[in-house]
Amino acid sequence: WNEVTKYFRAGMPLRKHRQRFRKHGNCFSAVEAVDWLHELLRNNRNFGPEVTRQQTVQLLRKFLKNHIIEDIKGRWGSENLDDNNNLFRFPSTSPVKTLQRRSLLKENTENIPKEEGSLFKLPHFSRRTPKKHELLHTLENIENTKSEIMEEDKENLHRKKISQEEIEEIWRNIILIHLQTILGLPSLEEVLHSAQVIPQYVMYNMTNTSKHGVVVLQNKSEDLPHWVLSAMKCLAYWPRSNDMSQPAYIGFERDVFRTVADYFLNLPEPLLTFEYYELFVNILDLLRPHLERVAVEALQICCLLLPPPNRRKLQLLMRMISRISQNVDMPRLHDAVGTRSLMIQTFSRCVLCCAEEVDLDELLATRLVSFLMDHQQDIFKVPTYLQVAVQDHIESLKTAQFQYSGEEISAILPTYSYCKRITPQEFDEQKVSTSQAAVAELLENIIRDKSLSLKDKKKKLKRFQKEYPLIYQNRFPTTESEAILFENKPTIKQPMLSLKKPKFRSVRYY
């Protein structure tokens, strides 16, 4: 199961598709998936050329049921997959299943089902029976039998030591890959740079948590002041708070709320920080009814990037305002504004704000705070699939060097890309040169395109000259060089019949 899912996830081509007047990036159609996976299984030593197309469709349905893939709207499990043009994509969750214990492996391999109608026929799989084929319900048994052998071999292997820097780099790359997949962007360079992903923050936010999932800080000086925590707890559990006595005067709860609001509004920087403003603004495009689950997954990862003190303060604030908004016993905290609207309006600016004032700042912030408040339990839940993906990759690096070599390693390991770090100046220079080279190549393609008529080619070149005058001038520095391109224009034949009235000379008779 793990082998096939890794091959499928790493090798299945993704591209843009159009469906119902909308474009979808990084996805594939069902028929494309069937074509690609069918070819893979036919060439695999465990299956062979006898695997049918219908069996491949059945396997893809198992992928959909187990959330290896999902449809373009993010649905899976109860959805169906047929050999048609419906669109699907890869979710951000890791498809790799945790291997079972060694004690259970023998039990699984000895009880291979024999009944007809199973999913796959595996030629030459077993020597225990004279039958030509054995039937299997799923591919998991294949991985289990292999893992049993690998468990015995691992005891004699000297594992490769993975440094802390390598582990942090693995965390950074997996975070970027999952986030790019969720957002559906061809590149993250416009919203997030790799240097902005600090693995130490991510690992701390995932491991140092209380039983309620709230980050626990080692340095108490970075935490909320005790009086702010007491005031927040008083409002969150109103009127059943245990650490404060009942109010002695009317309007006590308003004063407590004003105290909490003043603290957060006077913070020097919003809780989401100026650095991640563009990242969270891009997630606002996902805040639609049918994309709620995708938005929650994106915010799960993005909130892990925050410094631990910011994540703790943000989570406690969202828990408080969510409870206040749902508390029917809470008196009105404002005479003219409802409780929910008051929470959003009061704290939106201290959650999301741009370093330079933007006209839509307030609207964007209120949308995001409203969504955070409604889904705070799911958003601040630790995504364990990231830990699984990192651990799988580390284990692969530790053992692959001794068991495999060359092309086999690249086929087994996940396709994570590693880049050489460069300076911002080099990045800007490469960005300009790469873009200009691509545009110059486009110009050459127009020039060499023999399918274009002379009129269309002139029209395209004229438009190109208007958009990119410098590149056009470098290609055609003089008018003579431009004229050479059109010197072999076809001759136009004269019409056989002239539509003009002929001129007749007058005939005089003498």
Question: Rounded to the nearest 5 degrees, what angle is found at the Cα of 46, between the Cα atoms of 43 and 47?
Answer: 60
Stated pTM of the model = 0.51
pLDDT at 120: 41
Query: Which of helix, strand or coil describes residue 136?
Result: strand
Q: Which of 326, 358, 379 marks a domain boundary?
A: 379
What pLDDT is recorded for position 175? Answer: 92
Point out the domain boundary residue: 105, 124, 156: 156
* Domain presence at residue 202: yes
Based on the fold, state whether residues 68 and 1 are members of the same structural domain: yes
Closest CA to 143 of 48, 41, 4, 49: 4
211 and 360 both lie in a single domain? yes
Q: Which two tokens stand for residue 137?
A: 């319900």
Domain count, the chain: 3
Residue 211: predicted pLDDT: 86
Domain contains 298 = yes
Q: From CA 75, how far away is CA 393, in angstroms rounded?
A: 27
CA separation for the pair 190, 263 (Å, rounded): 33
Domain presence at residue 307: yes
Whether 507 is in a domain gets the answer: no
374 and 437 inside one domain? no
In terms of domains, do 25 and 151 share one? yes
Split the chain (510 residues) into runs of 10 and give each run's mean pLDDT.
79 84 86 90 79 89 88 84 90 55 42 40 37 43 52 50 86 90 82 91 93 90 93 87 58 90 94 92 80 88 95 96 90 89 93 79 88 93 87 76 46 49 74 77 81 83 84 81 66 51 51
Q: Are residues 465 and 316 in the same domain?
A: no
Supply the range of the domain harboring residue 91. 1-156
Same domain, residue pair 224 and 342: yes
Residue 412 inside a domain? The answer is no
Q: Give yes or no: residues 264 and 356 share one domain.
A: yes
| 180 contacts 388 by C-beta, under 8 angstroms | no
Q: What share of the chain is helix, strand, coil (3-state, %, to 5)?
A: 55, 5, 40
Q: Is residue 331 part of a domain?
A: yes
One domain, residues 107 and 15: yes
Burial of 277 (0-12, 13-18, 19+ CB in 10 A): buried
Q: What tokens appear for 473 in the block? A: 């001038």
Listed residues 319, 344, 379: the one ending a domain: 379
> Are 216 and 134 in the same domain?
no
Q: Is 3 helix (H, G, I), strand (E, B) or coil?
A: helix
- Whether residues 311 and 460 share a domain: the answer is no
Same-domain check for residues 316 and 431: no
456 sits in which H/E element: helix 454-467
Is 264 contained in some domain? yes
Query: pLDDT at position 305, please?
Result: 96
DSSP labels, 9-72 = HHHS--EEEEETTEEEEEEEEHHHHHHHHHHHHHTSTTT-TT--HHHHHHHHHHHHHTTSSEET
Task: Provide the terminal-to-terminal Cα distance of the chain, rounded to the nearest Å.
Answer: 109
CATH code where residue 267 lies: 1.10.555.10
- With respect to residue 148, please indicate whether it lies within any of the assigned structural domains: yes
Please tell me the predicted confidence (pLDDT) of residue 22: 81
Same domain for 220 and 147: no
